[in-house]
Structure 1
Amino acid sequence: MTTLAINNIKLIDSGNLANVLVRDGIVTEILDTNQPCLADTTFDGGGLYLCPGFFDLHIHGAGGGTVLRSSSRDLETISKTVTRFGTTRFLATTCFEAGGNNQCLKRAADACGKSLGGAKIAGLYLEGPFINPLRKGMIPSEFITQPNEDLLNQIFDLTGPHLKMMTVAPELPGAHALIEKLLDRGVTVSFGHSDADYDQTLAGIAAGITHATHLFNGMRPIHHRDPGPIPALLQNDKITLELISDGAHVSPPIAKLISKLIPPERLCLITDGLELLGLPDGVFDHKGRTVHARNGSVRHGDGSLVGTTLGQSQLLSRFAQFTGWGIEQAVRAASITPKAAIGQADPADPLIQVGQIADLVLAKIEDDTLVVQKTFVDGQVVFERK
């Protein structure tokens, strides 16, 4: 048995000072500071905040690594890069090509739950292939096809039990039948890259959709005479919603509006990160094209949006700043709610509790900005700010 004590910390949900004891990667005791923890390894938290590790539900890559290749080097690079931003688990997100090799799915599935030197892969997330080409966004056409049961079975064969979420456009012919099959396999079905109207979205929810892929992006906008999918998604309390809160994918006033309409228990703050996540501002090559990274956003020379360079700690900080939510609420939207979206937590779970896996973050919090100082996975330090 190995033990770890993290003493003199503030619990993120209460602000109370405490000492925390971890045994074999599980939080086993939360004590007052007048009850010192004795352990094999001891850290003095120095009054920093202790948060749950962040769970990135939707990330394609980071630090130059990409799930689309899923070499061991790619996955290790992503794993280590995201720990700088407090991410301790993530869904390896990618696409499926009908008639393609798709062995990246098997490699990523084989890596689920294994040590990669940083954050662990908690499962796979497929963005498509059963999506609407009218709302494909950055997804290449070769990764898009009509609903097809044989292709879905190929996906199941490649991913085994590790497929946790799939984005589906519910208006496509045959989509509802595939939603039923996904639910039978325990896969969360997400609305996205869809041209569905309001009624088609409601029908998709009735068929079993419980989540929405990067709200506002890859779907019809709201119009007062043609509401589209967004009101249908917002008004249903059972739907969890992804948001990229960099200020570019969704403007700050819209982020603030969302914070007034739904609680943290329904919001998943994601990165949707590509290989460029974690890189500084500058000019880079991305898939043979020059892109410009500035203030967290990556754009082509014509101004079209490519992605974000920001990690979860930065995105949750921006959301708190944009909306007036406290950091505690934003932390919940980056940790507990994403896990709840795929059935791995209860949305009302405490942020830090006895019995949870010791995926933890020690952070400095000032002026609604959270800066990660240490990241723990299974009670082991995987990142320490120098």
Structure 2
Amino acid sequence: MNQFFITAEKIFLEETVETHSYLEIVDGIFGDCVKEVPEGAKIIDFGDKWIGPGLVDTHIHGFLNHDVMDNDTEGIKEISKGLLSCGVTSFLPTTLTSSSELLGKVAHTIAEVKDEVEGAKIQGIFFEGPYFTEEHKGAQNPIYFTHPSIEEFDEWQTQANGLINKIALAPEKEGALAFISEVTKKGVTVALAHSDATYEEAKKGVEHGGSIFVHTFNGMSGFTHREPGMVGCAMASREAYGELICDGHHVHPTAVDILVNVKTPEKIALITDCMRAGGMPEGHYHLGEFPVKVENGAARLESNGSLAGSVLTLIGGVKNVVDWNVATVFDALKMASLAPAKSVGIDDVCGSIKKGKAADFIVLDNQLELCKTYLDGEEKYTK
């Protein structure tokens, strides 16, 4: 048995923040948090640093010049390892709208490489598309947009070996409501996105089982006092989760504050929507089939200047919401770990420091700069 204790100025557990405490780790699993340790116990003392849960990115397309849609096993492995430098210990590789054939191949590749990655753990697959509408297409390619099909989804799921646990669609698409009802019965989370839905159309999507609003405010019909739109539905649907990209480009800090106040931190999932340029120098890249220019911390389509994913790190998003006075450190960390994990039903295996869970955690300084990342109780990244 490999038993040791870790201690730091603060330990951010699932429900509390502990000080002057020791967190037990046994064979890579979190144990009890205690005030005293047995005589002779092995202790790793992080001094004035803070210990937080490993972060969970449930919406990320790429990193370090690799993209999930490259359909390359080595690329996915590199994304996984690279994410450790962002404090991410679990993630959902995220697709883009493409041909049905390529999506199936990508799903198969992710399933094959799932247990071979050495960095952040693959906890599922997020299919972002192809059931969207053109009005809010963003950087999704509309030539592949189609209507929801259970048969098509089942084929992808077979190729994915059951790993798809989240799919996004526009709720106003023909057949969308029946599709939402059916796939949620299969245990798959349905997210609403890239949609020109009215408030009522979006509300029906939620009533049929839609439970996440993808990158809230972006890629959806906006709010007005006479037609609340999809943004209004995201605010009013208290049980649904709202994703947020907190890079300062996608959403104004005041809008972030409003949504967090309305929905509470428990229902906000910080995500990155990061594309291949994440962790790379600014310059010219591609997102799917579209040329993208990364400049001043933002990724934009070269064709029309629309935002095309982000180059945000998840720990950067945590730091931003704290710096913007939107959330406490405790809540900000929770919005980047437990909330996203809960949103797709993987909180039993990741998302918090809790007895019985894998000892995936991060070490931060008091400025929320990442110092170290641990997986299963082993140090995997040091700044």
**Aligned residue in 1 for 2:215:** 214
Structure 1's 276 and 98: CA in aligned 2 closer, same or farther, altered over 3 A? closer
**Aligned residue in 1 for 2:293:** 291
SS at match of 2:293: strand
* 1:144-183 equivalence runs, <5 A: 144-183=145-184
**Aligned residue in 1 for 2:46:** 45
SS at match of 1:308: coil
Structure 1's 129 and 36: CA in aligned 2 closer, same or farther, altered over 3 A? farther
Residue 351 of structure 1, CA deviation: 4.3
Structure 1's 36 and 357: CA in aligned 2 closer, same or farther, altered over 3 A? farther
Instruction: Tell me how far apart the structure 2 counterparts of residues 285 and 95 of structure 1 sit (CA, whole Å).
Output: 15
Instruction: Tell me how far apart the structure 2 counterparts of residues 273 and 6 of structure 1 sit (CA, whole Å).
Output: 32
* 1:181-260 equivalence runs, <5 A: 181-260=182-261
1:50/1:363 contact within 8 Å kept: yes
More deviation, 13-22/257-266? 13-22
SS at match of 1:84: helix
2:325 corresponds, among 300, 323, 326, to 323
C-alpha distance after superposition, 1:274-315 (max 9, x if no partner): 1011224x3233367461332x32235664322322211111
2:90/2:123 contact within 8 Å kept: yes
Instruction: Tell me how far apart the structure 2 counterparts of residues 111 and 157 of structure 1 sit (CA, whole Å).
Output: 15
Instruction: Tell me how far apart the structure 1 counterparts of residues 283 and 351 of structure 2 sit (CA, whole Å).
Output: 42
Letter in 2 for 1:286: H
**Aligned residue in 1 for 2:357:** 356
Structure 1's 256 and 100: CA in aligned 2 closer, same or farther, altered over 3 A? same
1:19/1:37 contact within 8 Å kept: no
**Aligned residue in 2 for 1:376:** 374
Residue 58 (structure 2) pairs with residue 57 (structure 1)? yes
Instruction: Tell me how far apart the structure 2 counterparts of residues 169 and 37 of structure 1 sit (CA, whole Å).
Output: 58
Residue 24 of structure 1, CA deviation: 1.9
1:110 corresponds, among 104, 109, 112, to 112
Residue 15 of structure 1, CA deviation: 4.6
**Aligned residue in 1 for 2:342:** 340
More deviation, 186-195/5-14? 5-14
Moved over 6 A (4+): none
Structure 1's 4 and 162: CA in aligned 2 closer, same or farther, altered over 3 A? farther
2:373/2:381 contact within 8 Å kept: yes
Let me know the Cα RMSD of the aligned residues.
2.2
**Aligned residue in 1 for 2:141:** 140
SS at match of 2:179: helix
Residue 19 of structure 1, CA deviation: 1.7
* 1:271-310 equivalence runs, <5 A: 271-280=272-281, 282-286=282-286, 289=291, 291-294=293-296, 296-300=297-301, 303-310=305-312
Instruction: Tell me how far apart the structure 2 counterparts of residues 37 and 291 of structure 1 sit (CA, whole Å).
Output: 56
**Gap regions ≥5 residues in structure 2:** none
2:53/2:351 contact within 8 Å kept: no
Identity %: 28
**Gap regions ≥5 residues in structure 1:** none
Instruction: Tell me how far apart the structure 2 counterparts of residues 196 and 310 of structure 1 sit (CA, whole Å).
Output: 28
* 1:3-14 equivalence runs, <5 A: 3-12=3-12, 13-14=16-17
Instruction: Tell me how far apart the structure 1 counterparts of residues 160 and 183 of structure 2 sit (CA, whole Å).
Output: 13
Residue 237 of structure 1, CA deviation: 1.9
**Aligned residue in 1 for 2:130:** 129
Equivalenced residue count is: 375
Residue 361 of structure 1, CA deviation: 0.5
Instruction: Tell me how far apart the structure 2 counterparts of residues 314 and 89 of structure 1 sit (CA, whole Å).
Output: 16
SS at match of 2:160: helix
Instruction: Tell me how far apart the structure 1 counterparts of residues 351 and 133 of structure 2 sit (CA, whole Å).
Output: 38
Instruction: Tell me how far apart the structure 1 counterparts of residues 326 and 154 of structure 2 sit (CA, whole Å).
Output: 45
